[in-house]
Amino acid sequence: MSGDMMNTKEVARYLGIHEKQVYALIREEKIPATRVTGKWIFPKKLIDEWIETSAMKGFKEAHQKSRKVAGALLAAGSNDPVLDILQTSMRGLYPDLYIFSANIGSLNGLKALNGGFTDIAWSHLLDPESGVYNIPYLSTCLPDIKAVVVNLFYRELGFVMAPDNPRHVCGFEDLVKEGVKFINRQKGSGTRVLLDYHLGQLGLSPDDINGYDKEVYTHLQVGLSILSAEADVGIATAAVSKLLGLSFVPITRESFDMVLDQKTFFEKGIQVLIDVLTSNEFRRNVQKLGNYDFRDSGRIIHSEH
């Protein structure tokens, strides 16, 4: 079936569920579908919109529940191992403060923030024209709030492969080589935005990449896909390659930022997060991962007027 339309088997694979569950969703009228010549078909565009709408509904419910816990904040967007260490460090020092985080990609994190479904968006979206991260996206993704952008850290992003790089992947042009299996990040993630930009610059088609349609939601999942030989190459942080003993070819040094409403910035949980982020103890815990730059950590790099 064409890439614009999917049958029940294809949509089940796309959603990562059993085909019987797809039929259940059809019966309950919870999924966009139409019947043609006795068979169910699913427009991919409508399925993608349905996924995003369902995700936002889930965040709204989670946000309402999190507000029942005193001192709780909800975060959504990109991911990084440092965030886990940061949140663990916060809980150790301030057990009454909580941050509930969801990995949905930078772009959807900003949309969730604008919709009032989350308090914090973790983001590393590159604007290719200016070379600036995150700030150029505020006007289109956050039209309804006055945003403040706080730098958390700079990190290295690159290709991760099995030890000794057996497929000899050194650049984006190598992703289309015969026999190379790629593992991708989900649409809307900062990593996906970066990949698609470079493919466009080189005139490469996603259709020529074996595995472009195979998506995972975290950098760690990319690394585990390589480790289990499900894929030969993916794009992830240097920290993930170091943790899993994988080969690493750097692509760029990117700014990983926290985006939030100016009103939220002064809440106790945010101020504690910044205090922990800039503490010597936290830096010592992260130092073993390597490849992080905290020179602007905790600094406001942009504020809407």
Is residue 66 very low, low, confident or very high in pLDDT (cuts 50, 70, 90)?
A: very low
Supply 130's token pair.
């200016």
Residue 130 inside a domain? The answer is no
CATH of the domain at 229: 3.40.190.10
Q: What is the pLDDT of residues 232-280, one digit of tens each?
A: 999 999 999 999 999 999 999 999 999 999 999 998 899 999 999 999 8
Tally of domains within the chain: 1
Structural domain boundaries enclosing 226: 157-253
Query: What distances in angstroms separate CA 183 from CA 9, 177, 232, one per listed residue?
Result: 21, 14, 8
Residue 183 inside a domain? The answer is yes
Q: What is the pLDDT of residues 145-186, one digit of tens each?
A: 999 999 999 999 999 999 999 999 999 999 999 999 999 999
Is residue 68 very low, low, confident or very high in pLDDT (cuts 50, 70, 90)?
A: very low
Interacting residues of 21 by C-beta distance below 8 A, sequence separation 6+: 12
Residue 147 inside a domain? The answer is no
Residue 71 inside a domain? The answer is no
Give, as one character, the DSSP assignment of residue 150.
Answer: E
Is residue 189 very low, low, confident or very high in pLDDT (cuts 50, 70, 90)?
A: very high
Residue 241 inside a domain? The answer is yes
Residue 21 inside a domain? The answer is no
Residue 75 inside a domain? The answer is no
- Residues 76/120, Cβ–Cβ less than 8 Å: yes
Residue 48 inside a domain? The answer is no
